[in-house]
Structure 1
Amino acid sequence: MIAIMVEKRECVEDLEAILSVPDIDMVQFGSSDYSMSLGLTGQRSHPDVVKAERTTIETALKMGKHPRVELGDISGAKPYLEMGVKHFCIGWDVRILYNWWRTNGAGMRAMLTGEAAVAPAPQPVKTGTY
């Protein structure tokens, strides 16, 4: 499987031609890099960025390619599912580690300072075969 990232305005503008290249199977929009390329660093919900993401997803579906979306958690999945997205990355290494350290660090800090006891962080649920 070959996947590409869309991170520049020119890529969105030429996406149909790019997705016409044989053997490209999947496309993912990179909102952080795209926003930086527009001079809108960190503004992933800026209307121009959101429009480009929607265009990327719609173009991929129209061209028979699989759009893929990265989410921090499942709470943001519904609008993408409604657009027809079926491929997701939920969480990524830095986010997973950050959440673990934040939860466990806060719990340990509370225990060390005598604050209210904190329940241990929930462990990830194992599904499928790894």
Structure 2
Amino acid sequence: MEKYLFAGVIDGRNIWANNLDASLNALQALEGVVGKDKLVVSTSCSLLHTAVDLVNENKLDKELKSWLAFAAQKLLEVNALAKAISGQKDEAFFSSNEAAHASRKSSPRVTNEACSKGCFCLEGD
């Protein structure tokens, strides 16, 4: 009986883009344990909890849109990771993902300098 490990590295319960570099590192560690031929890249659960496709979101600005991944984009992430562990890493796709994560991490839209001092802040504080 053959066994496979389905690694649910893409979160199917939220709308945020995956950190592809972190997921690739996790997959490479798993690959060392189960072998490349027994590892399957997958979502953590069904994608029914996410919206279908960002293509139809015309009112979102480019920065915010780069932080998101709906079902269609999550499938692209699964595919990109599967290709990467088989030696066909799409450097442009990974670079774009890394830039989006850096943008979100440093954006004043999600970072409140006053909160970095250890206090609890609500939006508008």
Same fold flag (TM > 0.5): no
TM value normalised by structure 1: 0.28
TM value normalised by structure 2: 0.29
Q: Which protein has the larger Cα radius of gyration, Structure 1 or Structure 2?
A: 1
Structure with the largest fraction of strand: 1
* Structure with larger RCO (C-alpha < 8 A, sep 6+): 2
